[in-house]
Homo-oligomer: A and B are copies of this chain.
């Protein structure tokens, strides 16, 4: 397979991980492949120039797989970053030319995706070791190269927006979940606390979040009721729901 890279178009991935407690983002060390043995500390989002004949979604899947080993994970294209000056730092540009083997890079438009990973579900804890990739809590993101801080922030905003309008949360919850788990996840993603009583009232009104006659097991507090998400019911109701005016 011809893996020649397109010198003008790349894909960058904001990979969010949720461990039941904190929201994190996967960052890689730019210098992991540096030939001089130096281990610098220039961090970036996982990304790559696209292969010439490759659809963008496949590029994103390829990048996700390379850095996490995972496939079939939720991936959403959320924005295009096209500032003609985004590669203007010469040192970083030279690194990109060298590491990609594409010498005629002057400007790259990047298509950004975000993805959601359940960290306790991946069954892998060695992601960071294999590729010099590491998880960073979203409240403590260091300076990244290129415009990657801007891309990350935009990814976070789009994730929040997605949580407010779509049932993304179920990508990160176990199939059977407690209302505490659901509320905690929303609080982590949105970055603020929610009122317990109001939250429960709202959930109880949603016909697509179904209480089971089942409770948690193996917890050292009063086991809470378990719930499931009825996607079919949600899709029917969503179809009937409209919005702004009508």
Q: Which of A's residues lie within 8 Å of B, judged by CB?
A: 6-9, 52-56, 77, 80, 82-84, 106-107, 109, 111, 163-167, 169, 182, 186, 190, 194, 199, 202-203, 206, 242-246
- Least CB distance from A184 to B in Å reads 12
Contact B244 A9 (CB under 8 A): no
By a CB distance below 8 angstroms, the chain B residues around A206 are 245
> Which of the residues B77, B80, B190, B242 comes within 8 Å of A164, measured between beta carbons?
B242
- Least CB distance from A109 to B in Å reads 6
> Which of the residues B109, B169, B182, B194 comes within 8 Å of A56, measured between beta carbons?
B109
Nearest first, the 7 A-B pairs at minimum CB distance are: A164-B243, A8-B8, A56-B82, A53-B84, A165-B243, A164-B242, A164-B244
Residue of B nearest to A77 (CB): B80
> Which of the residues B55, B199, B244, B245 comes within 8 Å of A246, measured between beta carbons?
B199
Residue of B nearest to A167 (CB): B244
By a CB distance below 8 angstroms, the chain B residues around A6 are 8, 107
Residue of B nearest to A79 (CB): B77
Contact B244 A165 (CB under 8 A): yes
By a CB distance below 8 angstroms, the chain B residues around A106 are 52
| Of A9, A80, A245, most B-chain CB atoms within 10 Å | A245
- Least CB distance from A9 to B in Å reads 6
- Least CB distance from A93 to B in Å reads 15
By a CB distance below 8 angstroms, the chain B residues around A202 are 245-246
Contact B169 A246 (CB under 8 A): no
By a CB distance below 8 angstroms, the chain B residues around A82 are 55-56, 111
Q: Within the assembled complex, what's the spacing in Å between the Cα atoms of A6 and B9?
A: 11
By a CB distance below 8 angstroms, the chain B residues around A244 are 163-167
- Least CB distance from A208 to B in Å reads 10
- Least CB distance from A56 to B in Å reads 5
Contact A83 B111 (CB under 8 A): no
- Least CB distance from A115 to B in Å reads 17
